[in-house]
Structure 1
C-alpha cells in the first residue's frame, strides 16, 4: 500500500522508555507516511526516567524506523527537550541527513517557522528541576494506572478516559499555564518577526492564530501534542498545517510493513540501553 506523502512532520513528547509511551501506535503512523522532512521536537527519549529494566521491543523499533528515514536520505532534525536535555551538550551534531539541535528556523514557502521544544517557558523547569522530575514520575505513574483502568473499561464495553486530560481541563491553574505558555511563545515570535512558532512540551496539540500582547501583529502558534495521551503530530503539506490524530480504526486494515528494520535481531538494543544509562548517570 502506498505511503502518504507529507512535506513536513513534527513529532514531540514521545517519552520512549516510559510506560505511558504509545510506541506501537507511533510505529504504525511512521510506517504509513513518506515525509520530506521529519522534526523530532524534544522529549523523544525520556532519559530522565530511563530504566534498563524497561525498554520494550516496540520502543527500539521506533528508533530504528527513525534511523531508516535517515538512511533513506530524509532530513531528520532532533531538537532537544527537558527530558532529553542531556543531549544538549552535543547540539549542532551533524551526521549526514541527521542533525541534533536545540532550536531551528525553517523557511516554508516564503514564511519563517521558529521551532523549539518550549521548556524554556516552564518556571518549574528553570528554578525547581527536582520538582519537575518528581512531577514527571507522578505523571508516568498516573498514566500507568490509567492504562489499567482503560483495560477494564474496554472489557466492559465502555469508553476509555484520560485522567490527566480531565485534570488539565478542570484545574484552573493547569488551563492558565497552557494559556500563558501559548501567549508567551506567540509574543516572542511576533517580536522576532516569525510567521509560525512551533512547540511541544505541554502535551496539548493546537493550531491557532494568537495576537501579540503588547504590540501589533499575530503569529500562527502550533503545538504537536504528544504520544502519551493525545497521540498527535503536526503535518505540513501543500502550504497548509494540520494536526494528525491517531485513530485505531484508521489502521485496522493496514498490512504489516515487514522489512529488515523490523525483522533484524533486536538483541543489540542492549547497546542503546547502556548508552541511555550513561547519559542518565552523567546528569546526576
Structure 2
C-alpha cells in the first residue's frame, strides 16, 4: 500500500498524452502518491495535434486516463479546462465525461477566501507573440530539444541519475524565450485583475512558478514533458509547487562500472 499525501486541490497541465515526450509514467506515479478533494486539469492533457499527425498511445497513456477516472468515481471532483492541443473539448463546456467536468475557465476559491482565475493561457499568445510565437526558438528547434531530452533522460535513468530536462534548461538560455515568459506572465496577471480576482493559475508555457506580479498571485503549473510539476493547495489555502523527478521504486538498469566513475566525477565537480 503506497503512502498517499492528500491536498485540498491539485492543478496539473500540459501532459501531452499522445506525444512521445510525455512523461506519463511519472504522472501516473505522482497520482498514485497524491490525492485531492478536487483535481483541475489545466489544458493540453491530451495532445490532439500530435495524434492527428501520427497515432501514438501506449499503455501508460491509458493508465493515466483510467487513474483520473477512478479518482472521479471515488469522489474526487475532476475539472478539465481544455488547452490549444486538446481544443476539440472546447465544444463541450458543461459536459461530464465519466465524472470529469469540462469548463472553458473557472474561478477557484481557495481555503483562505482568495479567488483565482484558472485557464490554460494559450489565448494570450496572440498578444505576446505579435504573430511570431516561435520566432524565439522555432517549432523545429523545440522538437529537436525534446528529442535530445528523451535521449538524455534515458541515459541518466540507466546511470541512476534523477530526471533533468535539457529542453527546459535550453529554453531558459535563450533571451527571447525569457522575455516571452515574462511578457506572458504580465499579460495573464492583467487578465486576473480585469476579472477582479486575487490571482491566476495557468499552464501553456511549460514554466512552473509561484510568484507575485503587481499585487496579483501568478501560478503556473508547469508541465509533464519537461519539468514534471504540479501545484497543490493545502487545507489552509497555501500553495506548493511539487516537482516529481523520478518514478518511486523504479530500479535503474545495471550498467558497467563507468556509471560509478561518472557519479564520482559528478561528486568531485560539485
| TM-score, normalised relative to structure 1 | 0.78
Closer, same or farther: CA 138–157 of 1 in aligned 2, 3 Å: same
**Partner of 1:148: helix, strand, or coil?**
helix
**Is the Cα contact below 8 Å between 2:15 and 2:225 reproduced in 1?**
yes
Is the deviation greater in 149-158 or in 45-54? 149-158
Instruction: Report the counterpart of residue 193 of structure 1 in structure 2.
Output: 196
Deviations 1:118-171 (A, max 9, x none): 001112999869979xx5575344312322234345556778653322332121
Task: Note the residue ranges of structure 1 that are not aligned, 5 or more in a row.
Answer: 212-217, 255-284
Instruction: Report the counterpart of residue 85 of structure 1 in structure 2.
Output: 87
**Partner of 2:48: helix, strand, or coil?**
coil
**Is the Cα contact below 8 Å between 2:153 and 2:163 reproduced in 1?**
yes
Which among 234, 240, 243 is matched to residue 241 of structure 2? 243
**Is the Cα contact below 8 Å between 1:73 and 1:97 reproduced in 2?**
no
**Is the Cα contact below 8 Å between 1:77 and 1:99 reproduced in 2?**
yes
Aligned ranges 1:46-65 → 2 under 5 Å: 46-50=47-51, 53-65=55-67
Closer, same or farther: CA 154–92 of 1 in aligned 2, 3 Å: closer
State the superposition RMSD in angstroms. Answer: 2.8
Residues 1:112 and 2:115 aligned together: yes
| TM-score, normalised relative to structure 2 | 0.81
Task: Note the residue ranges of structure 2 that are not aligned, 5 or more in a row.
Answer: 252-270
Closer, same or farther: CA 124–144 of 1 in aligned 2, 3 Å: farther
Closer, same or farther: CA 53–82 of 1 in aligned 2, 3 Å: closer
Distance 1:209 1:224 in 2: 15
Residues 1:165 and 2:165 aligned together: no
Residues 1:44 and 2:45 aligned together: yes
Which among 70, 89, 96 is matched to residue 68 of structure 1? 70
